[in-house]
Amino acid sequence: MKPDVETAAISPSTTSRQAGLSLVRSTGFVSSISAIAFGLVFIIFGLWLGSSFLSVKARMLDAHANTPVLLVALALAICLIAGEFDLSVGSMVTLTAYLSVGLVVNQNWPMWLVIAASLAVGVLGGLANALLVVVMRVNAFIATLGVGGILLGLSRVYSGGTQLSPTGDSPQLPDWFSGSEGAFGSFQTKTPTWLVLTTLVVLVVAIAWAHAGPTISRTKRVPVLVGLALSVAVLIIYGSSIPSSVPMTVAFLLVVTTLLWLVLRYTELGRYLYATGGNTEAARLAGVRVRAVTTGAFVTSGLLSAIGGIVLAARQGSASPDIGVGFLLPAFAAAFLSIVIFSSGRFHVWGTVVGGLFLIFVSQGLIVGGVPFTWAEVLNGSVLVAAVSLSTFFKRLSGT
């Protein structure tokens, strides 16, 4: 028999030591810590480096430069939510970046067809992963590692292993896609200010509405308040320069994240993804079509990675052999940080984006402060390990 020991641990404690413990145990405390840590990074680096760190333009540039990595992190988050691994994402980025540039430069395809083809490759890669994992029941770790090897190899075959960029007499990437101001991939192309402001207002209202209902527990109010206070503080410090300095790529990332969040939160599919990841057999017996759900997760992951590759091509205007290889580690770190951020104890798309930005800002802060950029991987690795350890530790504390 299983006694009510857990229930007893949750009931209000009387002694102060127990009260302290239950504070640590409450998920609200954990997420507040992560919110505070995020704020602390800005304060510490701000004090240390002054305006060179607190510049909106510099941080936006970070976000712009890392949009493809963050898209890959979202791809991983979707897979991890469904309880699977996808190690093929980095290679998918490399392959689709090559295709996005090469099909124009070498094959002279129209851009819309190139984008469609790249997305199709993303879907096919996801289907290949799903075929191996869902149908043939190969361990996802091995299957996606192998598929990733194939994708990376194909990109080498296609490119001959060299860098690929438009030359003087080859067809050029369209101006709206890549290039100087006005192109999607350019940092100079800002999202219209009115659009940013409207979106901000809509988001705040949506968040307030989502959390006003009976779904919010007492423990969640703390992080919501802390988050709101932080955003207000940031807005006051930065003044009005944010709404006018959001690059197209970052806005695009936020749109993708919002869409994923809406699907995860407000559709049956989202619930089924979480249920499949939580306990596949239980989900199956509860009537969830777990194989279809897992397949969907892999396909989404492939699609998001392909989008990452396209955005990367737009940003760089070229593709090179090792372009997406280093994406896996920071993307994993961002996805795992989402467990700690926002207290949910689950993988989460907003947490992934915020966690990814946190990582990027910390490593940029260190680089600006004089640490050689070669240390970035050390930092990413440490954060991944620390995030996983922390979330495991807090889960144990809270008795799950």
Partner 1 sequence: MLQVAGICKRFGSTEVLKGIDFELSAGEFVGLLGPNGAGKSTLIKILAGVHSYDSGSIHLQGEPVRNLAATPLVGIIHQDLGIVDTLSIADNLMLGASSIDKRWGVFLRRHAEYEAAVSALAAVGLSVDPAHLAATLSPGEKALLAVARLLGLGAKLLIVDEVTSTLPPRDAQRLIETLTGATEAGATVILVSHKLSEVLAGAERAVVLVDGHVAADTTVAAGDRTKLMKLMRSGEAAEARSRRPHGTEVRARLKGVATQDVSDVEFDLRAGEVVGLTGTSGSGMHEVALALAGVTPVLAGEIEIGDEVRTALVPPQREVHGSIESLPMGWNLTLSSLRRWRRGGTLRLHSESADSNELCERLSIVPPDLAISLGKLSGGNQQKVLFGRALLQDPDVAVFCEPTRGVDVATRAEIYVLISSLAEKGVGILVATSDAEDLFAVCDRVALMSSGYMSSLKEIDQLTDQDLLEML
Site of interaction with partner 1 (CB under 8 A): 1-11, 210, 213-217, 219-220, 262, 265-268, 271, 274-275, 278-279, 281-288, 345-346, 398-400
Q: Is 160 left (phi over 0), alpha (psi -120 to 50) or beta?
A: left
| Cβ 32 to partner 1 shortest distance, Å | 16
User: Minimum CB separation from partner 1 for residue 225, in Å?
Assistant: 17
Q: How far is the CB of 341 from partner 1 (least distance, A)?
A: 17
Give the shortest CB-214-to-partner 1 separation in angstroms.
5
Minimum distance, C-beta of residue 36 to partner 1, in the bound complex (Å)? 22
Name which of 239 and 396 has its Cβ closer to partner 1.
396
Q: Which residue has the tokens 């593709």?
A: 319
Nearer to partner 1, 141 or 266 (CB): 266
Q: Nearest distance from residue 56's CB to partner 1, in Å?
A: 35
Tally of CB atoms within 10 A around 348: 23
Closer residue to partner 1 in complex, CB, 28/68: 28
Between 212 and 236, CB nearer to partner 1: 212
Q: From the CB of 265, what's the least distance to partner 1, in Å? A: 8
CB nearer to partner 1: give 1 or 136.
1
Residue 136 burial (10 A CB sphere; 0-12, 13-18, 19+): exposed
**CB of 331 within 8 A of CB of 116?**
no
Task: Give the nearer residue to partner 1 in terms of CB position, either 266 or 393.
Answer: 266
Between 162 and 400, CB nearer to partner 1:
400
The nearest distance, CB 142 to partner 1, in angstroms, is 19
Judged by beta carbon, residue 214 or residue 370, the one nearer partner 1 is 214
Contact status, residue 37 vs residue 31, Cβ threshold 8 Å: no
